[in-house]
Amino acid sequence: MENGLVIPAIVAVTLLTVGIGFWGLRLARTTSDFLVASRAVSPTWNAAAIGGEYLSAASFLGVAGLILKYGVDVLWYPVGFAAGYLALLLFVAAPLRRSGAFTLPDFCELRLGSRRLRILATAFVIFIGWLYLVPQLQGAGLTLATVTGSAYPVGAVLVAVVVTANVALGGMRAITFVQAFQYWLKLTALAVPAIFLALQWQADARPAVTPPDGPTFRTAISVVVEHPATLTFPDGEVRGVRAGETVVFQAGDPVPEVAGVTIDAADWLLPSTAGADDRGLFATYSLILATFLGTMGLPHVLVRFYTNPDGAAARRTTLVVLALVGVFYLLPTIYGVLGRIYTPQLLVTGQTDAVVVLLPEAALGHGTTGRLLAALVAAGAFAAFLSTSSGLLTSVAGVISTDVLGRGSVRGFRLATVIAGVVPAILALNVSGLDVSQVVGLAFAVAASSFCPLLVLGIWWRGLTDLGAAAGVLVGGGAAIAAVLVTVVGPPLHGWPATLVAQPAAWTVPLAFAVTVLVSAASRRRVPADVGATMLRLHAPDTLRL
């Protein structure tokens, strides 16, 4: 299953990314150009750039993998990832742009005039940025290992080096062009193979996605087991397999059930029902809350709004982003569903994240079409790693250069980029056992529990004080971070504690809002004297030019 086209495709994407980066560099003349793209970026370019930056490894690979494994219940991931932009549009976009804040720490200082709150926000921006960068680099390592057989660190280090160099040398203007290009590449890389896959499914006389006797293998295949597991065959035979063991299946053989991985066809096809599992419903609502409200708190999303000329443009840009992202999220479902038919072996190995990369050749065969489409998908996956890590790195580096190093110069920004890139690279090399989609979900939960209350209350409520904001971020964000740490390094939990820790947003977000409001109300005398002027600046229409 060696495909000689995959490596050239990945190299081409990387070179194009760097090439467009340098093209942008030639255009960037002054420091102001360099850092905020002169605000001369058109709304369509800017929207495509925001979309390109946002659609990460979790969107490109993870969503389809989750759908293959869990079915209809995880469709809330793509819906929530898109709906996050609606929440951003309704509550944050225009006022944030009018505030003139470039980063979240800037917003804290502008709105509440507190240096200490600014430092706290800086710490959270860096934490969320790194928490989100690690799974991107891991995804790159795992994908390159899947499609080319290279060692895991190769992909992770390659992406880290390319992205760090590009951000350090090109700055934000270059990144805007790169990101816009990446959006269209990612959309094409999923859409074109999806059309071929749908046609192939038609040509195969539309095999059932959930046949009454369970999924079967269409071709003979040998599966190498990575982790010890218990396989249950439909005839009732139970067999334990060891790591490294090879299991051979013939065409037409039923797919065995793997304890803890496979769920039965009815659960896959139908939403969770009441009574049987209240925890499922809680987890669903928690996921909805984290994704709907977490997007506005992601550092690389907010930094983009500064490149809009005014508040009205920020609103229109966000609407275009919502449309672009919405179109993209129609596609992963197709891969997840067709994966049940063409790559059922992933249900046995549990490596469902590989479905997008493996499906074209599994369905269309190893002929020229299949190999070309597989190369295209691999290129798209690489675009996803490169673009999201670039955006994250730009914003983390921006915060480090202004708030930690205390310099606004281009050289300071470059130094900060290297610092911001090295740390997650080292982390990614040392923790390879984390689940990509889950870590991304936790980053959303931390963002929703820390920055969402700060932004929403800061923009709409005059009564917010620096003490209230700090308490909300510390308690809500702190609780979410504690949940992340328990999930990643803590002991395995069962029942309700496991659900509350794995999907914390449903209790940490209300907690953060409640603490912020109560502490602000108790420290009413600390409301900034200029809150009226700030509100006017945030909400007065751009045309008045006050």
Provide the minimum distance between the beta carbon of 528 and other proteins in the complex, in angstroms, as a whole number.
Answer: 13
Positive/negative CA dihedral, 350, 148, 150, 247: positive
CA 237, CA 229: separation in Å to the nearest integer? 14
d(CA 420, CA 160): 10
Provide DSSP, 340-389.
HHH-THHHHH--GGGHHHHHHHHHH-SSHHHHHHHHHHHHHHHHHHHHHH
Q: Give yes or no for residue 102 binding other proteins (CB under 8 A).
A: no
Tell me the residue type at 375.
A
Minimum CB distance to other proteins, residue 92 (Å): 10
Adjacent-strand bridge partners of 229: 241
The binding track of 46-85 with respect to other proteins, each residue x by CB under 8 A or -, is --------------------------x--xx-xx--xx-x
Give least dist CB 539 to other proteins, A: 5
Q: Does 532 bind other proteins (CB under 8 A)?
A: yes
CB of 460 to other proteins, least distance (A): 5
Length reported for the chain: 546
204-220 burial: b if 16+ Cβ within 10 Å, else e: eeeeebeeeeebbbbee
State the DSSP H helix or E strand holding residue 176, giving kind and residue range, or none if neither.
helix 152-203
Separation of alpha carbons 28 and 171, rounded Å: 8
535 interacts with other proteins by CB under 8 A: yes
Does 330 help bind other proteins (rule: CB under 8 A)?
yes
CB–CB of 415/218 below 8 Å? no
536 binds other proteins (CB under 8 A): yes
Least Cβ distance, residue 452 to other proteins (angstroms)? 13
Q: Can you tell me the distance from the alpha carbon of 214 to that of 208, in angstroms, rounded to the nearest whole number?
A: 10
The reply to whether 188 sits near other proteins by the rule CB under 8 A is no
Between residue 389 and residue 408, which ones bind other proteins under the rule CB under 8 A? Answer: none
In the complex with other proteins, the residue whose CB is nearer, 12 or 527, is: 527
Output the six-digit token pair for 302: 């907010």
Regarding 514 and contact with other proteins (CB under 8 A), the answer is no
Q: Which of 39, 218, 279, 315 binds other proteins (CB under 8 A)?
A: 315
What mask of x and - would describe binding to other proteins in positions 275 to 294, judged by CB under 8 A?
Answer: ------x--xx--x------
Residue 508 DSSP symbol? H
Our CB check for other proteins shows the closer of 177 and 328 to be 328
CA distance 504 to 432: 23
Site for other proteins in 219-248 (CB under 8 A): none
Kindly state the DSSP code that residue 276 receives in the 8-state scheme: T
> Minimum distance between the CB of residue 544 and other proteins, rounded to whole angstroms?
6
Residues 6 or more apart whose Cβ sits within 8 Å of residue 43 = 308, 313, 316, 317, 320
Q: Is 442 in the site for other proteins (CB under 8 A)?
A: no
**Per-residue tokens: 235:** 């005839």
From 441, 461, 524, 500, select the one nearest 81 (Cα to Cα).
Answer: 441
Task: For the CB of residue 225, give the shortest distance to other proteins in the complex, in Å.
Answer: 31
Strands (E), 326-434: none
Rg (CA), the chain: 24
Does 110 participate in binding other proteins (rule CB under 8 A)? no
Q: List the alpha helices (DSSP H) in 400-473.
A: 410-430, 436-460, 466-472
DSSP string, 77-88: HHHHHHHHHHHH
Question: Does 191 participate in binding other proteins (rule CB under 8 A)?
Answer: no
Residue nearer to other proteins on the CB measure, 83 or 121: 83
Of 105-113, 120-128, 361-369, 538-546, which segment contacts other proteins by CB under 8 A? 538-546
DSSP 256: P
Supply the minimum distance, in Å, between the C-beta of residue 71 and other proteins.
Answer: 9
Q: Are 383 and 217 in contact (CB under 8 A)?
A: no
Shorter beta-carbon distance to other proteins: residue 245 or 264: 264
CA dist 253 and 248 (Å) reads 10
User: Is there a contact between 508 and 483 (Cβ–Cβ < 8 Å)?
Assistant: yes
* Residue 329 interacts with other proteins (CB under 8 A): yes or no: yes
Work out whether 460 is an interface residue with other proteins (CB under 8 A): yes
Q: Which of 111, 316, 340, 371 binds other proteins (CB under 8 A)?
A: 316
Nearer to other proteins, 184 or 282 (CB): 282
Q: Is 263 in the site for other proteins (CB under 8 A)?
A: no
- Considering only 326, 350, 412, 510, the residue that binds other proteins (CB under 8 A) is 326
- Using the contact rule CB under 8 A, the part of the chain among 27-35, 89-97, 221-229, 429-437 near other proteins is 89-97
Q: At closest approach, how far in Å is the CB of 373 from other proteins?
A: 22
Shortest distance, CB of residue 330 to other proteins, whole angstroms? 7
Among 110, 323, 486, 527, binds other proteins (CB under 8 A): 323
| Binding residue for other proteins, selected from 94, 108, 303, 425, defined by CB under 8 A | 94
Phi, psi of 224 (to 5 degrees): -95, 125
198 binds other proteins (CB under 8 A): no
The binding site for other proteins (CB under 8 A) comprises: 72, 75-76, 78-79, 82-83, 85-87, 89-91, 94, 269-274, 281, 284-285, 288, 312, 315-316, 318-319, 322-323, 326-327, 329-330, 333, 460, 532-533, 535-536, 539-541, 543-544, 546
